[in-house]
Chain A
Amino acid sequence: MSHHYMKLDLIMVDAVAPTISEFTIIFSIATLGMLALAMVIVFFVLFYQRKMLENKLQRQKLETEHQEKMLMAALESQEHERERLARDLHDSIGLMLSTIRISLMTPPKIEGSESGMTQQVKTMIDDTIDSVRRISRDLMPPSLERFGFAQAVHEMCNQYAMVSGVKVEFLENGSAVSMDKSKEIMLFRIVQELVNNALKHSGSAIIHVSIQWTHLLEVKVADQGTGFNIEEKKNAASGLGLFNIQNRAKILGASLEYDTGPNQGTIVTIKMRCS
């Protein structure tokens, strides 16, 4: 039975089947369609590979530029530090030691004035010692070594306030968590640079520095000064200080947020895990 049905089916198919020429046209169109699809795939792969490679090269170029900028920032910062140290040594220690030398070389003109001169030399030596201490403290604050990051920042704020005449307020919340010394130094340098920038560029009469200890360490440096355009600064060749800060934050694994704009003041927030 089934065999008869099959035969009947075949006859019906025969009745509606196209002629060979009609079939050839349809067949050719379908085959050409398949070939066109294959061609599209091949060209797409070639085009896509080139596009992706261009993007990759562009990314690599940007990365190299960024790293070069970072390196420049690090070198420049090192150079600034050396310059400052050289200036300090020359202007204070060198000058004082020269004065002491001259004082010691010059014989007293008035009889009996040796003790007065000795006193003067002693005072100058004391001043020199103070200067050496100050330079040393600037290089590596002893409080950072002894009492940790928060205390060092506190002292730094006091010193800056004293030297600049700008009010630098310090606030600490939560209980301090001890960190690696290398991390503390790096974080301290970031805060130092931020406060320094605020003092130099913001024109603000008051600077707030706050430290919040939770499971995260959150440090904020805020001023009410002129503010700046963060994107412009990032792209500017002179924005190496900013790069330096970012570089250090990156090494620390800390996040860095800038909330600023022209005439809106600046709030810089650093967040990092303490452990």
Chain B
Amino acid sequence: MTIQLLREYSNYFQWAGSFFICIACIPLFKNRKAYIKTLFFYGLSSILFQAGQQLSVSFFNNQNINQIGNGFVFFESILLTTVFWFAVSDAFWRKWIATLGGLYVIGYIVCILFFQENSHSLIRTGREMLMIVCSVGYFFYLIRKLPEENLLKFPMFWINTAILFFFAGTFMLSLMLDYITNVLHNDLIGFWTFRNFFRFGFCLLLMYAAWLDFTLVKDSLQGKKSPVI
């Protein structure tokens, strides 16, 4: 198996992962928590952007493939920040999340307009940092709230864990992205294949969280008690 083929498979895996997230979010959609609904749109946007990239590869000779990727980075950051925004109930925490999200948007625009040479690396590193900060912040929020139920029963715990692991794992890659391509003259195929498989794992964790939420919603609709933060 060549690395190109592996890369192609990793793309399909990634695609499937996003699809699984959407599928897990759809049942009882109306009754789902706002952050799960946002997660659905995250999965959907991921599918659409990947379709866009696939179209670019298949029909337009890789034209605008990086722009599509950069566009997804923006949407991903906003949607996942919104997930955190919905997951916390205090105005204080929401303010912080909104401020961080706002700062990222400004940073993103500045990078795209004024630092085009390193923008791929900068916007991705910024996204990773934003997600890591939100994730660690959410854990801190959880500790402060101290729910009495087992944390493993909370969908948001799994979403947060997935985000922390994935973005901590891809942080170095994002940071070194431009260095790898410009200085080491590497086509990133090996790194990116690994990253895509890693993202598949991330999607599976998000899917598990969405499924867990589904079981809780179903239980609560049947009058059973479900954990609440």
Asked if A45 and B168 sit within 8 Å, CB to CB, the answer is: no
CA distance A109 to B35 in the complex (A): 102
Q: Pick out which of these stretches binds chain B: A46-54, A84-92, A116-124, A189-197.
A: A46-54
A31 at the B interface (CB under 8 A): yes
Chain B residues contacting A45 (CB-CB under 8 Å) are: 139, 142-143, 151
Number of interface residues of A (CB under 8 A): 25
Asked if A52 and B143 sit within 8 Å, CB to CB, the answer is: yes
Question: Which residues of A (1-36) have their CB < 8 Å from a CB of B?
Answer: 10, 13-14, 17-18, 20, 23-24, 27, 30-31, 34-35
SS class, residues of chain A in contact with chain B:
helix
Asked if B180 and A34 sit within 8 Å, CB to CB, the answer is: no
Chain A residues contacting B190 (CB-CB under 8 Å) are: 24
SS class, residues of chain B in contact with chain A:
helix
Asked if B171 and A41 sit within 8 Å, CB to CB, the answer is: no
Asked if A49 and B168 sit within 8 Å, CB to CB, the answer is: no
CA distance A94 to B73 in the complex (A): 94
A38 at the B interface (CB under 8 A): yes
Number of interface residues of B (CB under 8 A): 25
What are 25 residue pairs bridging A and B, where the CB atoms are less than 8 Å apart in the complex?
A14-B183, A17-B183, A17-B184, A18-B184, A23-B180, A23-B184, A24-B190, A27-B172, A31-B171, A34-B168, A35-B165, A35-B168, A39-B165, A41-B164, A42-B161, A42-B165, A45-B139, A45-B142, A46-B151, A46-B152, A52-B143, A52-B146, A53-B146, A53-B148, A56-B146
Residues of A within 8 A of B (CB): 10, 13-14, 17-18, 20, 23-24, 27, 30-31, 34-35, 37-39, 41-42, 45-46, 48-49, 52-53, 56
